[in-house]
Structure 1
Amino acid sequence: MMNSGRWWLSATMGLAIWAGPFSVMSAEVERPLSLEERIAKLETAQTARNQALVDMQFKLAELQSEIRELRGLLEQHGFQINQLTERQREIYKDVDSRLADMQKRLESLGQTKPKPLASSTVTVDPAAEAKAYERIFPLVREKKYEEAITAYRAFLAKYPNGRLAVNAHYWLGQVLFVTGELDKATVEFNLVAEKYPNSSKTPDALLKLGEIAVRRGDKKTAQSVWRKLTLQYPKSSAARVAAQKLKNLDG
């Protein structure tokens, strides 16, 4: 009987000793993190998120310029066509009114109606100019850059002083920039900035001139152009992008 009791006691103690390490291991695995460890873990995750957000902001600043340009062009097209059509009507009405007034004066003076003289100047049809311009942009959207370059140059040859000439010069510069023809793109952007200082395209042209300088490794020229942009066109969205780019260069 005593032997049986001793055997039972030995078996119970053996099981307790055998199960002991596993209980300790389980406790260690399931041990909750301390407050300091949780805070440190959260701070590490927050730092990583902040860095990712900063990187995204820089990338978004680059993309916003292109998106803004495309969106602005689409918005302008409808407005410009309506504006040109209305202007054309006003011109026709004014011409008719002047001719009628002239005829009345001649009749009152007893003079015969003079024969019409051939005009020495070429009259530009605003509606035709707008349609010709509209036909080019799908080539840019479809990335048919060589065809777009040819089309923009043909447009400028036909309408060198047209209302949409500044837009054509700017977008010709954009396409040349995309295709890597930086010297030719510089010519177009400089033309926009110098010949059309009051155009809404001028701030964007200056922004691109700075980007071309950066690609060439000319940091000083880029800084000079972007500072000029922020000073002369401070309210433009291009100026805000230029200010951020200046910070990146200075940093």
Structure 2
Amino acid sequence: MSRGLLLDGSRILTGAFLLLAAAMLPAQERPLFPGQNQTQAGGAAGANNDALSLLLDQNNQMRAELQALRALVEEQGFELRRLQRDSLNRYTDMDERLQALENGAAPVTAVPDANSPAQTTPSETTPPSLAESPPAASPDPANAESASPAAADPVPRRGRISTLPPVVLSEQQLYQMAYESAINENFERSIAEFDQYLSVYPEGRFVANAHYWKGQSYLYLGRFDEARDSYEIILNEYGDSPKLPDAMYGLGQAFQRLGDTSRARNLFNDIKRSYPNTGVANLADSNLQSLD
């Protein structure tokens, strides 16, 4: 709905500019209507000036309304991303609980030997070395104690090998999880998760964004060489990405931290020339002042 209003506003502004251009033509160049002489046309010039003022007022009003609509669209986009993050958090929390339940129930799945005279309970699992012994033989308590750790050892090991969640998420969910780690300042984990995303979806929709946030994470960790490499991937391979100006700014910061102020200054100047009157251009200008 908001986008439709923006389109309607753009059409109205276009029509207003056309009328404005027609009103600014000299009286000699304006076409005469049938039955109208030059004197009548000149007398209508005063009315056209009033109409011109009205059009200018309407133009300014439409500009203000368009700015308000853009702000509304950005606010709705932010709210949508927040809802997506909340949904992903609930999903990952449920997935972790299911994994914990599965790992906790693993020892109960052991099936006792059918020939064993004693029936085991859920809290008592027969070790394999005891289950294979003859029924008439009484197990030695010392041997049972030494065998128990070996029998129970595979379960804790299976629980310890998980470093990153298994790849069961969609592309957007996997990217969002890594992005959440970055904005929550868990930079080491975010780098690992973005690497996982890039390995699973090397041609995905968010590849350029993943490289950018990897660069940001490296930058905050003080690993400026790796940050530079991540930003340069965007400049060299994803020149049409919306993240290009941000990547240029991040690369300039990396060069600045590495002591290459000449290349940093060139990048900041390129941002000001290519993306004037933007937030990233203002940031580049501030960094240029700090370099002087």
Q: TM-score range by the shorter chain?
A: 0.3 to 0.5
Q: Which has the higher contact order (CA 8 A, sep 6+)?
A: 1
Q: Which has the higher helix share?
A: 1
* Structure possessing the higher radius of gyration over alpha carbons: 1
